[in-house]
Amino acid sequence: MNADLTLAGRTAIVTGAGAGLGRSEALALAARGANVVVNDMGPAAAGVVTEIEAAGGRAVAVTGDVGDWSLGDTLVSAAVDTFGSLDILVNNAGVLRDRMLFNLSESDWDDVLHVHLKGHASLSRAAAVHWRAASKAAGGPVYGRVINTASEAFLFGSAGQPNYSAAKAGIVALTLSTAQGLARYGVRANAICPRARTAMTEASFGEAGSPGGLDVMAPERVGTFVGYLASPASAKISGQVFVVYGDMVALLAAPTVEQKFTAADGIFSVEELGAQLTPYFEDRDAHRTYAAYSVAALDTTGVTATM
């Protein structure tokens, strides 16, 4: 195994790891040599620990709600007390409460933001406290990798997912802040927008199918990329957002300024805004908004199904 790709001796926390993407990510990290703290709400976490141990790895299950702020500290302590370190954090836990905006209840909003955005924040904060203290004790940078789970929903503003879209946009912003705020301590933080067929998404992707190989939407494909981002080989990658599924990984570019409107005399009047902006948008395509619809062109699902 290439030394810069190995995770031997490293310890990872994976949230929402009892099934689906989280399970695949936990198994992938363990297969690369990492010890894994497997988090989920119920007994499924223990089942994943059994899988990891049966394959010769080391893992421990810690159940609990990631949206509970104190659980971050509990999971970090479990990593350090059980395995001696914390090196990798994979924030994956999530729920869906899909509604159109006019049908959205307060609990639909709160449940999704609680698990996705607050869950990412609670774990990231606890890990940041640990890495900052470790770096100060070491007198220099330490090893830290944060892999957050966003979604293409934040790029499109999915009509039936105002809560989920907002949470995922927040996660991207949190990722950028984490990358900047923790860089001096040796931490790298990135976000992935994965597509995978799991219990949470099975209604979106239809029947599994990939003749002669791994299902094009298999969560194992995402787990492989997470294993890479967790490794020393990713040391120069931070503050990035990737779309990941099928046979590809796509690196997203930062937003750019399309057009700058400037007041002729230094202060805009409503009339001058109308004179400049109204004609500019007059014949604009309705889909040409801040939403990144062009990313949908990446989707060749069913066209290419190779590993």
Q: Locate tokens 């926390």: which residue?
A: 13
Q: Which one of the listed residues 143, 168, 210, 245 is annotated catalytic?
A: 168
Q: How does 221-252 read in b/e, with b if 16+ C-beta sit within 10 Å?
A: bbbbbbbbbbbeebeebbbbbbbbbbeebeeb
DSSP-derived 3-state class of residue 144? strand
Q: Which one of the listed residues 151, 231, 234, 238 is annotated catalytic?
A: 151
Q: What CA–CA distance (Å, rounded) separates 151 from 116? A: 11
DSSP-derived 3-state class of residue 284? coil
Active-site residue, 151 included: yes
Q: Which one of the listed residues 24, 118, 143, 164 is annotated catalytic?
A: 164
What residues pair up with 147 in beta bridges, in sequence order? 90, 190
State which H helix or E strand residue 54 sits in: helix 44-54
Active-site residue, 136 included: no
| CB atoms inside a 10 Å sphere around CB 190 | 23
Q: How does 273-292 read in b/e, with b if 16+ C-beta sit within 10 Å?
A: eeeeeeeeeeeeeeeeeeeb
Active-site residue, 168 included: yes
The amino acid present at 239, given as its one-letter code, is: G
Q: What CA–CA distance (Å, rounded) separates 55 from 283? A: 60
The amino acid present at 38, given as its one-letter code, is: V
Q: What CA–CA distance (Å, rounded) separates 23 from 176? A: 25
State which H helix or E strand residue 138 sits in: helix 119-138
Tokens at residue 102, please? 């006019």
User: Is 29 in contact with 226 (CB distance < 8 Å)?
Assistant: yes
Please list the active-site residues. 151, 164, 168
